[in-house]
Structures are given as structure tokens and as C-alpha cells.
Amino acid sequence: MKRIKIKELLKSGKAGESVVAKGWVRTKRGSKNVFFIALNDGSTINNLQVVVDVNNFEDALLREINTGAALSVSGKLVESAGSGQNIELVADQVELLGAADPEKYPIQPKKHSMEFLRENAHLRFRTNTFSAVFRIRHAMAFAIHKYFNEKGFNYLHTPIITASDAEGAGQMFRVTTLDAKNPPLTEDGAVDFSQDFFGKPTNLTVSGQLEGELGALALGEIYTFGPTFRAENSNTTRHLAEFWMIEPEMAFYDLKDNMDLAEEFLKYLIKYALENCMDDLQFLAKRLQEEEKDKPQDQRSMDLIEKLNFVLNNDFIRLTYTEAIDILKNSPYYKKKKFQFPVEWGIDLQSEHERYLVEKHFKCPVILTNYPKDIKAFYMKQNDDGKTVGAMDVLFPQIGEIIGGSQREENLEKLETRMREMHIPVEEMDWYLDTRRFGSVVHSGFGLGFERFILFVTGMGNIRDVIPFARTPKNAEF
RNA sequence: UCUCUAGUAGCUCAGUCGGUUAGAGCGGCGGACUGUUAAUCCGUAGGUCGUAGGUUCAAGUCCUACCUGGAGAGCCA
């Protein structure tokens, strides 16, 4: 008999059918004559209830049916006598595929702390919460490719190892095969990277954008979706040393086109989650609600599914940096001196300012545009005012900056001048500048932090819990 | 990196002003129970109190350093 996945059994299994199900024991409840096993195979958040007549099975076998053990069960589907499920499997045969010693198996049928499960990241997939999160993560990765494919974008594989460090997005991880203890030295005592694997210093990528622009100015629209590395000593709930980023780059798109794309893209993904991951979302929503019970009324956040629908059904607020500064300066928060950091035109907005705009003032996702040029990267489009650049940041409640992007400066001279001002090694970037020398056009792009987006969709609180194996300062387990 | 905070049983935690033999629930194990829903009930085992120093007649409790976790900030996606 062929194994049928539990998702399928629960959806279209009929009473009377003989089936085989395989999975892992979530809980076992017993009495003198009958056992109930909650069996889960990862295909769905929901368990299959297996009913075992104790008298038909060896005691030794029944003893091995513990939380975490893997079973193959064949039997007949019946309408459930108990409430809580429509259908259940009455076991004719139970085969123990893999035992799990109950004295040693760490995952118990009880609530565990996120910290404990993080330390047991190799087993946390077996919990309801994490199986839901990682099914949703998969669905979102798939939907990203689906969206761009439908829009005619090309998936461009930009390099993981790069010799360029001009993007300035953060500290980089050095990639080398040199002996760390005895590296070859040049005459003046510096490490001689000409003898390294690539013949020059190389690092893990912090962004595929610059290479992405090369693709966009030939293929029209491209996107990247791959791992990105930042060696920043950041210890927060929204930073990882290794994370996944989606970076679309589009020829002939100006800043408004760029914003339109970002908004449509995010809404497409949210819609996909609501249409395809409802079971998991409902589980996570319920979990969140229980967590929120302890909080005072005014600190509780919106129900997860309500929140997703809200973002889906409302236009993002678009305003310029200058307008945002005005709002902040006229806010009751500012007047009561509740902001810790100063608010002045020219400063970079602090978390508290972004949160005020998104969570208190607009209560809606916000797209901020046209930042002062001095706080943004060299490649951004210089506006006619001489003070600002065509940047855009999408800010989400709780998470903050989820997307950072801009229209790119397409004018060679302006770009070169700005690079010199910011001490970017122009000579090493010749390959990049060729895009502006030959057939340069208006173009734009942005970067979406995949894990930050997953945080938003799942309602999870810590970015380490939405990536299978988190890489953070002092932690590279598994 | 900075600020705050925590580390006690497998897990989640309590442990009062420094005082005698270290506490609970869950989980495990043994048993009971005719259909359970993280079942219930009875019993039982389980501890180098993060590590190293120090103060004290006496330290889980106070002090210092370090390690690790968490929250927030900075940096950013």
C-alpha cells in the first residue's frame, strides 16, 4: 500500500479507506485498552489521530511509541468518535521506523521557550511553531520567484565571493586560503594577497546590486535572491550575519515606478500567504494571541491575519524625508521631548522616529523618499535640489526598514564626482561605470530582507527564529 | 560595541533580611483508568544553584571578573 501524506488524508480521506500513513509522534495518550497517537508528517500543521487497540499489539512495541518516534501505520480511516477531528486512522499494523528515547529526546509535549528551541535548532522543526514558520518561508520563496517570473524578470545569479567592497553596505567577511598563522608578506610587511587563491583580497558579498545593475542594463529587469553576509557585530532581533536578500533591478524605472513595484510585490506575497498558508497562519495567530494575553490592552498588537489583510488592502503612505521631519517636529512626542535623539533636517532617522511615523502617526506601512544625499550611498540619483537623492525606504510596523532602494544615478560625470567625494576607488569600479559610459538609462532597484519580511508574515519576534540555522555574532552552530 | 537584565532538576520557574536537610508544575519512570485532545488520578527518581575569585561564623542569596542567553540602542536588510 502506498503512503499518503497526512495533509491529503485530512483533506480528502474517506471513512472506510485502507491507508498507510507515516510520521512522527507528537503526543500519545493512553488508557487500559486504547491509545491515541497524534501523528505529524510535516505536510501540514494538523495531526492525524491514530487509534491503537492495545490488545492487538505487543507491549514492547507500544512502549516505543513515544514523543518523537517515527512510525508507519496502516489501517482503516473511520469517522472519529471523539470531537476535535473528523477522521481518524484505526491501526491494523504499526511499524516502528525510528525510536526516540523519551529520557533523552529534548522536545516534550509542552510549551518550550524560544531560547531553548534556538539552542536545539536541529530539532525545532519538529514543533508546531517552527514547522509552520518554515512552511511559510518556503511558500514565500516560491511566491517571490513566481511573481518575478510572471512579470518577465530574469533571475540573475550574482556572485557570493566578490572582490569589490565599494558598496559600503557593511563590514565584510574575508575569503582566503592563506594560512592565518603565517600569511605571505610583501616587502613592506602587509599580507601579500597576490599569492591568495584569487590573486587579490576577496570577501563574501554584502549586496548583489552593482552586478545586478549590469544585468538590468541588458536584460531589462532582473532580480537576485540569495545569501548575503555582513560581519557587523549587531546583536538585535532583526540582524543576521548571513541572511537572504531579494534585489530587483529595473532599466527604465524611475523612483515612482520603483515604489509601485515594491508595494505591488509585497502585497502579492502577502496575498499568496493568505491564500496558501491559512492553516499555518491561523496557528501562528492563535499562538500570538495567547502570548499577548499577559500584556496590557493598549500594548496588544493587531491579530496576525487582520494585520496582513490590513496591509494588503491599504495604500502605503508615501512621503518625502523632508515632510517626515516636519511631522516629527510637530508631533506631540517631539514637543513633550519624548524622543531620545534630536530631530533635524539632515540627520538619519532613528528607530524611534521611524516607529513613531509608522506605528503612531500613520498606523500603516510608509515609504519615505528623497533623503539627504550625505546619509545615503554614492550610486543614488542626485536630485535637482542638490541636497537630496532619489532613495526610498519602506518601513513596516514593528520591523522598521524592510526595503531599501533608490533610483540610480545614470549620469557618468555626476556619479564619478560623487564617488570621489565619498572616497570610493573609482579606478577599481571601471566595470560598473561602463554601464554609464555605454547606453546609460534611467534605472532603479531595491533590496528586500527576506527574513525581515518573514518576521512580518509570521508575526515572530526574533529574526533567528525565521531562518533555519541562524548565523549571528558568536554563534555558528549546526 | 554600549545600556539594562537573567543563568537553580530534562523544561518553565519559586527560593523572603545572608541562616540549618534545595521547592513546585510540566516532562521521565512505575501504577490506575472503556474514547483521549498538551487527557486525568496515585506514586517515584532526578541538583557541582553558569565559571573563577572574594566578603562572612555562615553564600543559591552580597561584591568583582569572565562566559552564555534575552531585551533595547547603534549599524542596516
Between vectors from CA A59 to CA A53 and to CA A65, what angle results, nearest 5°?
Answer: 75
C1' (B31) to CA (A63) span, angstroms: 15
Which cell goes with A284?
A: 501562528
Separation between Cα atoms, residue A109 and residue A439, nearest integer Å: 62
- DSSP character string of A268-331: HHHHHHHHH-HHHHHHHHHHHHHHHTTS-GGGPPPPHHHHHHHHHHSPPEEEEHHHHHHHHHTS
- The domains found in chain A, sorted by start residue, are 6-106 (2.40.50.140), 126-171+206-465 (3.30.930.10)
Q: How far apart are CA A98 and CA A72, in angstroms?
A: 10
pLDDT class of A289 with cuts at 50, 70, 90: confident
Residue (of A421, A391, A216) closest to A319 by Cα position: A391
pLDDT at A84: 81
* Å: A80 CA to B52 C1': 60
The answer to whether some atom of strand B lies closer than 7 Å to the beta carbon of A342 is no
Which residue in this structure is represented by grid cell 523519551?
A102
Question: Which region among A156-170, A357-371, A441-455 has the lowest average model confidence (pLDDT)?
Answer: A156-170
In this structure, the strands spanning A87-98 and A48-53 are parallel
For residue A165, is pLDDT > 80? Answer: no
How long is the CA A398 to C1' B62 vector, in angstroms? 40
- Position A294 scores a pLDDT of 63
What pLDDT sits at residue A169? 66
Sign of the Cα torsion A311, A314, A320, A325 reads: negative
Q: Is the CB of A33 under 7 A from strand B?
A: yes
Residues 6+ away with beta carbon under 8 Å from A274: A281, A305, A308, A309, A312
pTM of the model: 0.95
A167, closest nucleotide (Cα–C1'): B76
- Give per-residue pLDDT as tens, A121-148: 999 999 999 999 999 999 999 999 999 9
Picking from A410, A427, A29, the residue whose alpha carbon sits closest to that of residue A252 is A410
> Other CB atoms closer than 10 Å to residue A446's CB: what's the count?
23
Contacts of A97 (CB under 8 A, 6+ apart): A22, A69, A70, A71, A72
Q: Which residue is nearest to nucleotide B39 (CA to C1')?
A: A29
Q: Kindly state the cell numbers that stand for A83.
A: 470531537
Instruction: Say if residues A290 and A266 touch (Cβ distance below 8 Å).
Output: no
Q: How confident is the model at residue A299 (pLDDT cuts 50, 70, 90)?
A: low
Is the C-beta atom of A376 closer than 7 angstroms to strand B? Answer: no
